[in-house]
Chain A
Amino acid sequence: DAGVIQSPRHEVTEMGQEVTLRCKPISGHNSLFWYRQTMMRGLELLIYFNNNVPIDDSGMPEDRFSAKMPNASFSTLKIQPSEPRDSAVYFCASSLNHAGYRYEQYFGPGTRLTVT
């Protein structure tokens, strides 16, 4: 079975530009998580969805960030306008939340974003 798929793997953009990151969760998983990782702050949760519904977006740093999950197999994280401090690795993870399962999360390969 394919794991979590993320695109692009690398993104270099100029300050002020719009950036869209994409994620396809593992088939059958019903929870999806967006994380950001930096050396200073470690791995931070930005937002997560259960059954395509956003549950907690308290980690989204500001209104420049938005996320959507239009269906069970696709999610986007958008930054508009981007700033140099948004440079980080962005990970998407998915899990299956169902009676008898214990919510282990599986990570995608990440998108390394550089904003100049």
Chain B
Amino acid sequence: QKEVEQNSGPLSVPEGAIASLNCTYSDRGSQSFFWYRQYSGKSPELIMFIYSNGDKEDGRFTAQLNKASQYVSLLIRDSQPSDSATYLCAVSLGQAGTALIFGKGTTLSVSS
């Protein structure tokens, strides 16, 4: 059974701090990795994707991938109260047309 694990949280950080969200996956064949943000009552919104080992930066967000350890992380620098949401990690085998497997999400709370 392919699984994606996340700490449910809540993860609480003060405004301006770095928030670190972690995710592990069970299938070594996984090739594509995604982070979605979901505000309460809204749909998941794609914020980052990464396919190669290492870091990928986009504004205040950095995704990190370590395939050997089967580990993906998301760093949010200069956290803002508007970042308060649930963050979903998703993994795909990367083949054409395959579906994503989602973790249950980590709830982030940024206090002002």
Contacts and interface: CB of A to CB of B under 8 A. Distances in A.
Interface of A: 31, 33, 42-45, 48, 50, 55-56, 91, 97, 102-110
B105 A55 contact: no
18 contacts: A42-B102, A42-B105, A43-B102, A45-B99, A45-B100, A48-B97, A50-B96, A55-B97, A91-B43, A97-B96, A102-B32, A102-B51, A103-B92, A103-B94, A103-B97, A105-B46, A107-B43, A107-B45
Main secondary structure on A side of the interface with B: strand
Q: 4 closest pairs, A vs B, by CB?
A: A42-B104, A50-B97, A107-B43, A43-B102
A103 B94 CA distance: 8
Given A48-B99, A103-B98, A43 B88 contact: yes
Main secondary structure on B side of the interface with A: loop
A102 B46 contact: no
B49 interface: yes
Interface string B12-27: 0000000000000000
A102 B49 contact: yes
